[in-house]
Amino acid sequence: MYLSALFDDFSRSYIQKLIDKWNVKVNSKIISKNLKIENKSEIEINIALEKLDEVLPENLDLDIIYEDENILIINKQAGINTHPVPGEWGKSNTLVNWALFHCKDNLPNIWGIERPGIVHRLDKDTSWAIMIAKNDKMMQYLQNLFKERKNIEKYYIAIVNWIVKNENFKIESYIWRDPNNRLKMTTINPLNPKIAISYGEVLGYIENKFSLVKIKLETWRTHQIRVHLASIGHFIIWDNTYWNHKINTEIKTKYQLKRQALHAYNLKLKLYGKDMNFIAPLKEDMKKIIPKELLEII
């Protein structure tokens, strides 16, 4: 359970297999999976990464926002994983598969061979602009931007339940893993709490029932936008983790939306010594929920 909380890329069953195959040691001793971890224990894990030739190139239908000899920016649709994960069905239909096809052999491996060139992560069911570095120099530069949180900004569009009354708002809290559910993050007594800060602006209302909001992140925690909005009573519609079943069913029936209504539409960063601004247009499944007059101001 402890390792599952630390490494959310890997399923709990995969970690159990690592333990069963003697690939995990605590204080230099091979352990069983029911061992209770004590403070200051030293944990050693031997993880065998996928070989690159086992992750095959695939020509997927992806929208390219920008490309040059150093960087590629994609408007990824919901439903596509960023990188392969352990398991028979986890090696295909990912952004890495497409990058291997599109960029051939011109990709760095700083992050590890299972996700070459991928600079940052995102939820499978969120659509947005994602960057792919095409060489080691650009990879290192973009990594430093994310690490320092300077000269880079990300803005999101979300549709949330109910009317958000404050036109401009700030959410600040501690956030991390829910002690009762490793698949969820929480602001209530989280494990290993980390500070999280989000800024929101209401762009308008839909059917006097939902709010269209723009979000800017000061910190970038896992599920931060989803958890923060849910914590103030305005969860993102069709969010299957932080959700309201009745409203999600209504949205699915009326608009055929099948994923959370969250899209990272604007990426600003310092590139080649210049301030550059990239827009990832909303996907059609979200656009059909938003009135025309609101689409024009996004």
Residues annotated catalytic, as ranges: 123
Q: How far is CA 58 from CA 99, 144, 187, 213, in A?
A: 8, 29, 39, 35
Contact 177, 5 (CB under 8 A): yes
Query: What values do phi and psi take at 196, rounded to 5?
Result: -135, 135
> Closest Cα partner for 114 from 81, 140, 65?
81
Paired with 159 in beta bridges are 212
**How far apart (Å, rounded) are the C-alpha atoms in residues 89 and 91?**
6
Paired with 74 in beta bridges are 64, 130
**How far apart (Å, rounded) are the C-alpha atoms in residues 73 and 91?**
22
In b/e form, how buried is each residue of 93-126, taking b as 16+ CB within 10 angstroms? ebbbbbbbebbeeebbeebebbbbbbbbebbebb
> Closest Cα partner for 3 from 39, 33, 48?
33
Name the strand (E) or helix (H) holding 76.
strand 71-76
